[in-house]
Each structure stands twice: as C-alpha cells, then as structure tokens.
Amino acid sequence: MKINKVIFGCALAVGIGYFCLVPTRRAGAADDVLPVPPVIQDGFQVWTKKQNSSYAFDIWKKAGLLDEDKKPSVLSGYFSRIDQTVGNYKSYEVVESKRINESSEIFYLAINFEHAVVYARFLVYRADKAWVVQNMDFSLRPETLMPWLAFAGENYSQ
C-alpha cells in the first residue's frame, strides 16, 4: 500500500512538473492567424476581377489615413511596372498576423503572381464603422518586411 502511494505521488509530481516546465504555444503562432479584415479581402477580390492593381489600392486607401496620401498611387504605379515581370495576380496567403491592441493589427502576406511572389505588410485600424488600412508596404524580398526571415550570414555564401 505504501509503495502505491509513493508511486502515485512520484507520478503526480512528474506530471505537474511536466506541465509547468514544458513551454506552451506562443500567442500569435502561425496556427493562430487572425482573420484578414474585409477591406484587405475586398482589395484582392477586385484585383482578381479587374487584373489591375489600381482598383485594389482605391479600396485599400478608402476612409483611412491613406485616403488623401500619394502612397497608394505610387504603389499602384510600382505594380503596373512589375506586372510585366511577375505576371498577373493569382492569390494571396497570410504569412503571419499580429494583434497590436484591440483596434490595430498587422498582416504579413505573400502575394502570388504567375512568375514570382511579392510580400506585403498591412497595418489596419478598427475605425468607428469598419477596419481601414492605415499603412501598407510591399517588397520582392521577404526579409525587408519581415526581418525575422533575414539570412543568418552576411551574404548568400554563408
């Protein structure tokens, strides 16, 4: 009887120790991707229909800080130039998302084209009526927008 109590006590101690010492899944892990706000989805839907990035940028700038900013026009021009190289828009995927607070989130996306992928970072804000894009950036190099993906070495040979 005493041996059973000792074995039970040891098993209980090991079990409690295991759950206390094993790291839990971190918040914001890839499995915990936040849903992409409708404003971002709507931009990509119109890009699919029209096969022209300028319509997406018109949606993304609407009702936010970028509404009167020249950045969406500059970015639209950038995509007009690279469309010849990367091909037509196909789809997008969420790489990671981060909640900053209750009213702002960042979405890191991979935008798939026929011949290449372009990476995006959207900062969105929950305004009174809906989510709006506060800022957005794009790059052909993922580490530009997602520094945690940077190469460990100083050049490609390392």
Residue 40 has pLDDT above 60, yes or no: yes
**Residue 149 confidence class, pLDDT cut points 50, 70, 90:** confident
Residue 52 has pLDDT above 70, yes or no: yes
Reported pTM: 0.75
φ/ψ (deg, to 5) at 6: -65, -45
Q: What is the pLDDT, as a whole number, of residue 154?
A: 64
Please spell the DSSP secondary structure of 36-52, one letter per residue.
PPHHHHHHHHHHHHH--
Residue type, 79: F
Q: What is the pLDDT, as a whole number, of residue 4?
A: 52
The tens digit of pLDDT for each residue in 59-69 reads: 999 999 999 99
**Domain map of the chain by residue range?**
30-149
Identify the residue whose tokens are 């010849």.
84
Residue type, 37: P
Q: What is the pLDDT, as a whole number, of residue 155?
A: 63
Bridge partners of 124, per DSSP, are 105, 133
Alpha-carbon distance of 129 to 124, in angstroms, equals 13
CA 56 from chain center: how many Å? 17
Q: What is the pLDDT, as a whole number, of residue 13?
A: 46
Q: What percent of the chain has pLDDT over 90?
A: 70
Bridge partners of 99, per DSSP, are 105
**Residue 12 confidence class, pLDDT cut points 50, 70, 90:** very low
**Residue 9 confidence class, pLDDT cut points 50, 70, 90:** low
Give the mean pLDDT of 19-44. Answer: 67
Give the mean pLDDT of 89-112. Answer: 97
The tens digit of pLDDT for each residue in 116-134 reads: 999 999 999 999 999 999 9
Fold of 30-149: Nuclear Transport Factor 2; Chain: A, (3.10.450)
